[in-house]
Amino acid sequence: MTNCLIDTSSWIEALRADGDPKVRSRVSALMNEGKACLCDMVLLELWNGARGDREKKGLKRLEQGLLLLNTDNDVWDMAKELALTCRSKGVTVPTTDLLVFACAARHRVDIEHSDEHFELIRQAIK
C-alpha cells in the first residue's frame, strides 16, 4: 500500500472518543504502518476546529510526526481543472475537497476519507 493522505473528515472521526470505529481503525492502521500523510489544507481545517490546549498539542504532534505533502503550483492547477470538470458535469463540491483531492493525485497517494465529495469527484473525472 502507498502512503495515504488522511482527509479532515476522517481525522475528525479518528480523534473523537465516540468517532466511527471503522474510520478510527483505518486511520490507526495507517498511522501504525507509517503511511499517514497530511497536506496544508487538512491542517488548516484541523487547526480551525481545534479547541483547547489538549487538541492543539495533539495537532502539533501530528504535524511534527507525519509527512506533509507539498501544495505546489501543480496541485493548484490540478484543483482548478477538477473544479472546471466537476462544474461542467453538474457536480458541486467544496473547494477544500478539490484541493485535497488534487494534492493526493499530484503526489500519487490514496485518500482516507469519510466524505462523499471525493467519490463525486472521482465519478466526474471518469
Q: Read off the CATH number of the domain in which 51 is found.
A: 3.40.50.1010
- Structure confidence at residue 14 (pLDDT): 95
Asked if pLDDT for residue 113 goes beyond 80, the answer is: yes
Residue 64 confidence class, pLDDT cut points 50, 70, 90: very high
Cα separation of 18 and 16, whole Å?
5
Grouping H, G, I as helix, E, B as strand and the rest as coil, residue 25 is helix
7 Cβ neighbours under 8 A, 6+ residues apart: 42, 97, 100, 111, 112, 113, 114, 115, 118
pTM for the complete prediction? 0.94
Residue 1 confidence class, pLDDT cut points 50, 70, 90: low
Q: What is the per-residue pLDDT across 38-61, written as a single tens digit (0 to 9) for each?
A: 999 999 999 999 999 999 999 999
Q: Which range of residues forms the domain containing residue 81?
A: 4-125
- Structure confidence at residue 21 (pLDDT): 97
Q: How many domains does the chain have?
A: 1
